[in-house]
Amino acid sequence: MERFDENDIQYQKAKRYVEKLRGFYAHLFVYIAVNVMIVFYNYSHLKPGESYFQFKNFFTLTFWGIGLLAHAATVFLSKNGYLQNWEEKKIRELMEKEKKDL
């Protein structure tokens, strides 16, 4: 098995991406688990003849889902290049500023 240099820039980028990915999957798992419990609770507490399809039963699912989509966008679109290019540009900018301040 090939050993990677932990100081290598590519290794560090890959490691950061894997950490972001792991964070997203943990968020997704919690989202699913909590919402399954909420659906079960709401369904078991319906009054006779009451429909499950009411906004109050989908409130958490909807708004937390929007947050989950935003999280997914930051993880998967950052791999696309825009955010990665922005990060690299910002890093160079901060490094140049620090050189000037010395």
CA dist., res. 71 & res. 21, Å (int): 10
Residue 66: in which H helix or E strand, if any? Answer: helix 59-80
Percent of the chain with pLDDT over 90: 37
pLDDT tens digits for range 64-75: 999 999 999 988
Give the helix ranges, DSSP H, for 1-102.
Answer: 9-44, 59-80, 82-101
User: What is residue 2's predicted lDDT score, i.e. its pLDDT?
Assistant: 61
Percent of the chain with pLDDT over 70: 86
Q: Vertex 28, ends 24 and 30: CA angle to 5°?
A: 115
Task: Please give the average per-residue pLDDT across 19-38, as a whole number.
Answer: 96
Picking from 38, 73, 78, the residue whose alpha carbon sits closest to that of residue 59 is: 38
Is residue 33 pLDDT above 90, yes or no? yes
Picking from 19, 21, 18, 41, the residue whose alpha carbon sits closest to that of residue 29 is: 21
Give domain limits for the chain: 9-101
Is residue 1 pLDDT above 60, yes or no? no
Residues in the chain: 102
